[in-house]
Chains A and B, each alone.
Chain A
Amino acid sequence: MGGTDRTIYDVAVIGGGVVGCAVLRELARYDLKLLLLEKEADLAEGISKGNSGVIHAGFNVLAGSLKARTNVAGLGLIYPLASTLGVPHRKTGKLVVALADEDRPRLEELKAEGDRSGVPGLEIVDEAAIRRLEPLARGRWALWSPHTGIISPYELTIALAECAWQNGAQVLLEAPVEAVGYEDGTFALATPRGRFAARRVVNSAGLFSDEVARLAGTGDYRIFPYRGEYLISDRDCGLGLGMPVYPVPTKDDPGLGIHVTPTLEGNIIVGPSAEPVGDKRDLASTREAMARLKAEAARLMPELGRTSFIHSYTGLRPKLIDPRSKDKFGDFIVEESAVRPGWIDLVGIESPGLTAAPAIAEMVAAMIGAGLDLRKKPDFVPERPGRVRFAHAGDAERAERVARDADWGEMVCRCEHVTRAEVVSALRNPFGARTMDAVKRRTRCGMGRCQGGFCGPRIVEILQDEGVPVESITKRGGGSHLFFGRLKG
């Protein structure tokens, strides 16, 4: 691929977040030539990696809106999808807790909104039920949502892309679209890795979807980035939180309030803050937000006051609402351009975009299908083999794996128990993502309590064994180089 690619793609997707990858995988069911262009050195490098990883039921959004419709539809799609793709997930249920009686009306409002949207199973529960459902949660009343769940958003994103790739789609990393041309019903997308021609384009560029739309002349959108900071505890924190616990959202909060969420591995995530920032790349954490997160976590769950946090991360929400305006609700935009038929803009896909992604993907496929005679591929394989995690295998399986391939017997990450076999398999991903963060997201190396202190140097060795020169080893691509060559010749 690159400058010599003469293919005219049927559809090009711009942006390798969860929505773009869901669209790609949905389109891969059909006999279409597909290409996904991602500007970063790996998939899920934007909004899709910096969120709570919650599968939302859909009561937090205005009934009747596209957000609500795609959320509720997505809720029905995402669990079976995750199973098909071998992506770990769990339907945990969720509690929105009211600490005082006077907050109960807000819970009733949320429930009513959810009922209107067709969110299944919502119930207002009392103190005793709260403790029974989640012993760590406290509150006078709570909204109980039995169908909420948790998933790793970047694992889902990568799995979607891998499945699409298995079914023939092309994925190109480090390929930001810098210019868009249009001639005879074909779009020309210029990237540093070459020009690509496509009859249809799906702009799923997340935070940058407004800028990409401007390049195409399809719309005058404006994205306002809202920064959300998170803290994450050791999975060994001993609390055993079973489900996400949210506070009653205040009306003026641009997010859902600072909440606590378990990960599938047993860590506890606290966050996010919600702060409008001027720069779409401003992922810096602040002393003030870190302190607020800790205080808010302890208010919601006093046990968290004594928990040590091993990591922090920050995400940006791509909001369509100007922080200075009175409006608080901006709906998802999923629309085909009137001036440039064949160009579909997906703009402002913030929370609950992770849950909504499979439903948005179906919408986009239907929009594309309306103008084309889509034929399903008879040989489409919907499954993707899940990753094998040595840490989760039983004794017999472990013994068998090591006997077959000694790389399973070489422990690289001592905190998360990741073997060399898993690291090598991650490095041989079909997209050529070979950054430290790419390994981390695919294996959990560096996500443990030592934060890569021990496995980092070992992964550096394995990267070299896999043919990556030291000067090319980066944290996440671009200029994030780890080394400046060797010390002595």
Chain B
Amino acid sequence: MKAPERIETCDVAVIGGGPAGLAAALGARRAGAREVLLIEREKALGGILNQCIHDGFGLFLYQETISGPEYAERLIEDVAREPIKVETGAMVLDLSPDRLLRVDSRAGYRLIRAGAVVLAMGCRERTRDMVGIPGTRPAGVLTAGSAQNLVNLQNLRIGHSAVILGSGDIGLIMARRLVLEGVTVKGVFEILPWASGLERNVRQCLMDFAIPLELRSTVVEIRGRDRVESVVVARVDDAFAPVAGTERVIPCDTLLLSVGLIPENELSKRAGVELSPLTGGAVVDETLMTSVAGVFSCGNVLHIHDVADWASFEGLAAGERAARYAGGERATGASVRISAGTNVRYALPQLVTAGREGVEWSFRVARPLRDASVEVRGKSSGRVYARRKYPRLLPSELQKINVRTAVEEDIEVGCHE
């Protein structure tokens, strides 16, 4: 019997080879980790970047905009210059709290013990039944990301005329892609009063191609027995319930869903990592360490990013911290709790070591705001540790705020118009 007789070891294992994981492997090397293992479940490194053939990546990391595959290529080249052990086509099936990984690949099924682990598994898309669309179950209903894979990587014609539900960035990008591939896009329908995706994508992918975006509306029924024949759309009220009498039948053979992304934390759960109900990702401290010692998190598995660059920056930081943990460095234990206040959906990290200076928080607002003032305020003292003014804040954009002074008490990140 070919039992995995021995347990292999490494200093830092990075799970996921997308924009966050590639950067994390580099970060770990730069911080001195000797044996860094980068594990990617797809056949090639790059993650979802590989199917993002549109432009718009790299503005913050490389000060120019390039396509997803080009962005991935640069990181992959950097990784190739380092003695980083890369395994592709390898899937981590299990992660224990003491950092034992069970890895399956064509090369073999193995057990690996890591000195530190960086979680960089990315996210998945919300599906039809998570948003509860009634109707038939024909072929032709797919998530925008799956469609992107089939169209961009497999060169397949997924339909002739499409409706897109949800205005997430992938949906917007795919609206344009489908038009360029000769598919009629009948419209994008968004249940919220604002677009979920970035403004630049609304402009460049919808407006420039005269694709209608209808806010406060949704798909209330899918029709067609074998293949989608039409969808029924309707306006919604303030409680997101369809308004009777506003239904409209739109003939189409394809329905794309771009209704939200969910951090893919199955492995984190297996390791016992505490998750935040607000982000869907791990609760982390300022070193991006989760509630499980030696397990760090970054990128879309931690919280959903608007641009890949931020996921990469987060990956670099998580990789560095993981290397330092693997080298024996231990934090004193983060005790200051950060919560989201008025108009803020979440702020991250959720825990900070008391007395730490120069902490940077990522946050997202819960609704579009104008002339907004964001405050980091002490919960017991009421002291304002940082304040920043923004002419406009959108829920689609991830924002950052820096606190220079040491934080000694639980704080709240809030925002007022």
Contacts and interface: CB of A to CB of B under 8 A. Distances in A.
Nearest to A310: B129
Interface centre among A236, A310, A414, A453 (most CB of B within 10 A): A453
B136 A284 contact: yes
A448 B385 CA distance: 44
A54 B159 CA distance: 39
B109 A398 contact: yes
Given A236-B269, A453-B145, A414 B156 contact: no
A77 interface: no
Interface of B: 1-4, 41, 89, 91, 93, 102, 104-111, 124-125, 127-130, 132, 134-140, 142-143, 145-146, 149-151, 153-160, 181-182, 220-221, 223, 225-227, 242, 266, 269
A290 B221 CA distance: 13
Task: Give chain B's interface secondary structure class.
Answer: mixed
Given A453-B127, A457-B146, A460-B150, 10 more contacts: A236-B266, A284-B134, A310-B127, A398-B104, A401-B109, A409-B89, A449-B124, A453-B145, A481-B227, A487-B157
A409 B104 contact: yes
Given A414-B41, A417-B93, A478-B226, A399 B108 contact: yes
Contact of B125 (A399, A410, A450, A482): A450
Nearest to A410: B106
A250 to B, nearest CB: 25
Interface string A406-417: 111111001101
A348 to B, nearest CB: 24
Contacts of A407: 106
A414 B91 contact: yes
B2 A399 contact: yes
A479 B130 CA distance: 26
Contacts of B159: 484
Contact of A479 (B91, B137, B142, B227): B227
Given A417-B93, A474-B139, A400 B1 contact: yes
Contact of A457 (B154, B223, B226): B154
Contact of B130 (A285, A287, A309, A313): A309
Contacts of A312: 129, 132
Contacts of B105: 402, 409-410
A402 B110 CA distance: 10
B124 A480 contact: no
A403 B107 CA distance: 8
Interface residues of A, number: 61
A396 interface: yes
The 4 A-B pairs at the shortest CB distance, nearest first, are namely A479-B226, A396-B3, A406-B106, A411-B91
Contacts of B3: 395-396, 399-400
B149 A457 contact: yes
Contact of B108 (A290, A396, A402): A402
A395 B139 contact: no
A480 B134 contact: no
Q: Among A408, A454, A461, A476, which residue has the most Cβ atoms of chain B within 10 A?
A: A454
Given A453-B146, A475-B138, A470 B156 contact: yes
Interface string A232-258: 000010000000000000000000000
Given A403-B108, A453-B125, A460-B150, A486 B155 contact: yes
Contacts of B182: 487
B138 A395 contact: no
A186 B125 CA distance: 55
A278 interface: no
A154 to B, nearest CB: 15
A450 B124 contact: yes
A470 B150 CA distance: 11
Interface centre among A286, A411, A475, A486 (most CB of B within 10 A): A411
B199 to A, nearest CB: 26
A425 interface: no
A166 interface: no
Interface string A290-312: 10000000000000000011111
Contact of B158 (A236, A401, A451, A482): A482
A481 B139 contact: yes
Nearest to B157: A484
Nearest to B242: A287
25 contacts: A236-B266, A284-B134, A285-B134, A287-B132, A310-B130, A312-B129, A312-B132, A396-B3, A399-B1, A403-B109, A408-B109, A410-B106, A451-B127, A453-B127, A453-B146, A457-B150, A460-B156, A470-B156, A475-B138, A479-B226, A481-B227, A483-B150, A484-B158, A486-B155, A487-B182
